[in-house]
Structure 1
């Protein structure tokens, strides 16, 4: 049975002919009496305390016709140092001093026969009116029988929540006096031009239409501009001269428009309309009930989060450091229970390749993370129970069915534009950005600010350098960072677990955890990039299609890598006339190491490792992106050299053509001048050949030489012994001249 005490509030059922709420002022168990004060519907000047048998109240409670309110709807609770109490405490104390002796005179104050005399005595003694005294006593009884019940009822002032509208009486009074209708609401400070209007139903509809049409849009125009457009659309008139003017004296004010917007249209609706639902859910939603997820997770491995972001550091090629290659993509995989970053990938790959390589790194890292020696020796992988990722580009091609079928991982997607649903890993990306600020080539923003130097000019690091730097940063975070906002459960508090990712991870593995184990081959087959390789005489050929240039037209090439394995050599795969030549095999490759290729055998049941052949040893130790970068650089150089070669050949051919054309012109001139027949020209070929030979040896022309000799003969007929040549035929003279030349 519920015990009854003074100040309790009794709530009666409607079947009883009593006020709904009554407060117990005094209990006389000896005489089975209870003094009640009605609280509803309203306390008036005729409201006084009344008596009721205690047994009747107890019976009503037992029968379910009345209950004792656990929450007093009329009590007034204030902090002693609140501004309201400090401001009105003096008025409360004065009112309490006037009724204190009267209301504490129980039970006589409740007896109608004695109450009148007590009130008259207090009125004479205190010098106050009976109305004020009765009002203070009723207020004291209604609001909890405490001095604080006498504080002013400021929350009742001004009729809050009640709209100021014209009543029928106000309209009739204004018409009777011949005055304009009174303006409801706050009066303007300056109202000489227009005191304003009372909003009609049409005005309210116009305001709502204008708000929906102009203000509640993603263009986010201001309220002032929306008000202007409302005036132009709904409150204009055409003058006699055809001019359109705004009737400002008949239009609502901008204050009235704001009042309708803020009072009748929810704040959430306004934000969604102006900024969009995604922005509202991300930055303006209510966060009630959003607690710490670590307290509902079953230890390490229960849930991983995966996400990627563009690295903020400009990079250079590892082959030619003078060449800039842009920014890498950073992938993180984090265990949510411990905040441990279990896997990562930093590379130029985007989408499928990068995401799966990060998963492969996270799963194979389990040998170290689980502290299990047998696990490391048997080459197993540790996988989580749940994997959470968004719908970003890193998951295009990510086959969730494979993760479920082969790893028994339940995958989950966050909605678009809801980075807050994976806030733990998003917070790590913000932290990483701060860590990378001191590196050369760091880009503060995607778009270079005006006047700032291009961060690519300071680029120094390669992909491998950035990968090493981020690995050091991750190791320091995992082993040394203090998670200030991490909320430990009671078991962790009892065990005094340090709020550091590695400590939480290790404690979780010892006390719970959801990591499962799969074999290493399964991870290789289902996570590493897959492809087809061809068996040739030179080895197992892996082709990768790449884009060499997109300057004018897209130029595509295939970079080739050749591998070998003991199995292929023993089974004579590479003999040119063998049955294996030209056949294809399924392979998987590790983007981190070109030297490694995995043969996928027996429909994925087995894998066998292959290594590069000796002819391709220059790629050993290279990342696939570096090898492709080297090939692209060489192919691009070949393209440039071919263009130069074509240009050089063109100039050579033009020069040769000029020589031929000039010689042809001279030859034609000599032929025309000689006026010889074709047969004579043929007979003169031997003489011409000899002429050319003498010309090369320094004799300009045999014909000229013979002419000179003939002149000498004619001049010295008398002295034949002095002639250089005896009289001989021209042919004999030429032979003699050649002989002398050789002896000389």
Structure 2
């Protein structure tokens, strides 16, 4: 179908046939003919063409419908007043000829007379009127088609650098001193900017300019000490600092410079293009939750003794991207960690009416109806990365998305909410941190602290309830929301999405969610119990199934709460339910502690034992040396005895062990007997038997030796006689 203002072009069938572009300027009513003009040249007036021929040519491919080569979108604000005035005057002529006298100007017989009339009316020569109306037809038949082609004015001229110095003279130098900036100098500028200026953490063009002179515009030589020195060239061979700055500004690339100075992450965070929409991938409530933690800008005090400051709390928040509804909240003193993330995810599935009631607020369930897990969870690369986070995907069917480092903008909704919360804290809460770095005159916010942790939790609950009912003017409502008259309030958008988008929730019991969130520890099954570190646990099922009597150690996974060392949990193999193992009495030293405290005690004891190893080794060595001394003395005594007495056979040596034993026993009895009575009573003197060693050493006193032998024989006879009287058997 042919329309007015369409541009057509013929397809040459012969080698020398010219290519012509034509514009359809008018379709004759109730006719098969049109008026057209040729777009090239100024001497052509409209001519009549057959519409059927044009349509057949388009159908057969000999004529093409092409894009208008003169189509331009021009903003009136960009047109100077002089050009706009000239255009409007020409437009009055076109109005007279085309809109008021169209048939006359198209008819060849009446065209000259109407153009002459226009020349008379507007005080212009006839050729000028011809030029204006032809330009109107050729350039698109609109008002801006009459603008002069100043856009084509001027021509890029290649500068001739071979002659004298271009530009103004330097104020304090010889006339025309310096050099022209040709392509070779520009190449040096670009190289220095890329390799030296952009990598600088603190941009400094002056230092870069001096570096360039030293590297590219100086002679290098060695001084008397062999050190390399640089002597810059004379002034008439150097580019000036102003020239260097001019070309840097002329070819300035903000993105490259910023990335070079501060890194791509910083650029993406602060200056990247914001062309997307967080809503693009959401299908309804529960499609995507964003989670993050921050240290609140307020100091808290101890609830028992308010004079004790306990520091700043950590706030975890989970937000639904579709509705901006806060779906989870946790405030505590645990640093950003898996424990904090575990607590806020537990709050996500907790009925919020129950949560608020625990902190003194009574609300209806529909005021905060969020108690479901999402389809997808967006977090940063921190606590929600690794084995614990993988269990969210495998057990709770949550797709985890961890953002790259330093890209908080990829979860901008929750980040912006934290800023709003901290702004409110600064103006409403005692002990608020007004700025990150205090000056001398600033009062210490820790001295103004009054909130306890429970006070601040109440503050956050009130803030969340306000946020969920607050109108967010920046939110882009969908067509369905607009049709239903929904205001951009999180609670209204949540309810609308649940009703119309059906929600994208994962529903699990709270115990199941908690069991999944708890971290896992490997435990050894031993005869002494379920061993974790140096603590022991047990439960009835393990005893009844004979876990501790198999005589073979094995390892089993248990879940545990890092805040409670008293019990661990064994999930059932079916995935439904769990068993609780309690701390045994022999491990009561760790009772009621946290896992961190228990680990600290275990590590402290292990460290003390390790530090005492040197003393223990020394004790072992002292014992071994004393034993060795005894062994050496005994060996020497035996060797002396063998030398001093006749050689005895083995049978002779072991014969009479009982008699020998009785002799030694009597001697020991005599030495060990108790003498009771008056301490002043004169005690009988006991003459100890001399040992074999003494006898051997005192070989010179033969008479004493003889007497001792005689005494020994007499004592043996007395002992035998006593045993016969008392009826004692030989031992």
Which bin holds the TM-score, normalised by the shorter protein? Answer: 0.5 to 0.7
Secondary structure at the counterpart of residue 494 of structure 2:
helix
Asked whether the 8 Å contact 1:238–1:245 carries over to 2, the reply is no
Q: Secondary structure at the match of 2:259?
A: helix
- 8 Å CA contact 1:334, 1:340 repeated in 2: yes
Q: How does 1:581-660 map to 2 (within 5 A)?
A: 588=559, 597=567, 599-600=569-570, 602=572, 605-608=576-579
Does structure 2 retain, via aligned residues, the 8 Å contact 1:188–1:195? yes
Aligned residue number for residue 339 of structure 2: 353
Aligned to 2:350: 364
Q: Describe how 1:98-137 pairs up with structure 2 within 5 A.
A: 128=124, 132-133=128-129, 135-137=131-133
**Are residue 386 (structure 1) and residue 376 (structure 2) matched?**
yes
Task: Indicate the residue corresponding to 2:728 in structure 1.
Answer: none
CA distance in 2, matches of 1:35, 1:421: 58
Unaligned runs of 5+ in 1: 370-374, 544-557, 636-685, 687-744
Deviation of the 1:352 alpha carbon: 1.8
Report how many residues are paired: 570
Compute the displacement of 1:151 (Å).
2.8
User: Contact between 1:34 and 1:53, CA under 8 Å: does it hold in 2?
Assistant: yes
2:87 is the counterpart of 1:89: no
1:272, CA displacement in angstroms? Answer: 2.5
- Structure 2 distance, partners of 1:609, 1:131, is 103
In structure 2, the CA distance between the partners of 1:362 and 1:623, relative to structure 1 (3 Å rule), is farther
Q: Distance between the aligned counterparts of 2:493 and 2:112, measured in 1?
A: 74
Summarize the alignment of residues 50-199 of structure 1 with structure 2, pairs less than 5 Å apart.
Answer: 52-69=49-66, 72-75=68-71, 82=77, 84=79, 86-96=81-91, 128=124, 132-133=128-129, 135-159=131-155, 163-166=156-159, 180=163, 183=166, 193-194=175-176, 199=181
Deviation at residue 79 of structure 1 after TM alignment = 6.0
Work out whether residues 34 and 48 of structure 2, in 8 Å CA contact, stay in contact via their aligned partners in 1: yes
How much does 1:336 deviate?
Answer: 1.7
Within a 5 Å distance, the mapping from 1:654-693 to structure 2 comes to: none
Taking the TM superposition and a 5 Å limit, the aligned residue runs for 1:116-515 are: 128=124, 132-133=128-129, 135-159=131-155, 163-166=156-159, 180=163, 183=166, 193-194=175-176, 199-223=181-205, 226-227=208-209, 229-236=211-218, 244-247=232-235, 251=239, 254=242, 258-259=246-247, 262-263=250-251, 266-288=253-275, 290-293=276-279, 296-317=281-302, 322-349=307-334, 350-365=336-351, 382-392=372-382, 394-397=383-386, 399-437=388-426, 438-478=428-468, 480-511=469-500, 512-515=502-505
Query: Using a 3 Å threshold, how does the CA distance of structure 1 residues 285 and 195 change in structure 2: closer, same or farther?
Result: farther
Cα distance change, pair 460–396 in 1 and its aligned pair in 2 (3 A): farther
Q: Which shifted more, 102-111 or 225-234?
A: 102-111
Q: State the distance in 1 between where 2:377 and 2:409 align.
A: 16
The match for 1:516 among 506, 519, 523 is 506
| TM-score, normalised via structure 1 length | 0.62
Structure 2 Cα separation of the partners of residues 119 and 528 of structure 1: 92
Spell out the pairing of 1:7-26 with structure 2 (5 A cutoff).
7-13=5-11, 17-19=17-19, 21-26=21-26
Aligned to 1:37: 37
Q: Tell me by how many angstroms 1:303 deviates.
A: 1.6
Q: 1:459 to 1:597 in 2, by over 3 A?
A: farther
Query: Are 2:388 and 2:517, in contact at CA under 8 Å, matched by a contact in 1?
Result: no
Of the structure 1 ranges 594-603 and 605-614, higher mean CA displacement relative to structure 2 is found in 605-614
Offset from partner CA, 1:556-611 (integer Å, 9 cap, x none): xx9x9x9999x69999x9xxx9999x99997655568x698563354564335689
Question: Is contact 1:525-1:600 (8 Å) kept?
Answer: no
Give, in angstroms, the shift of residue 441 of structure 1.
2.8
3-state SS, counterpart of residue 313 of structure 2: strand
CA distance in 2, matches of 1:124, 1:381: 83
* Distance of 2:309 and 2:467 partners within structure 1: 30
Call closer, same or farther: CA 1:399–1:14 in 2, change over 3 Å.
farther
Report the secondary structure of 2:372's partner residue.
strand
Per-residue CA deviations over 1:468-513 (Å, capped at 9, x if unaligned) read 43233323333x3222222333333344444333333333333311
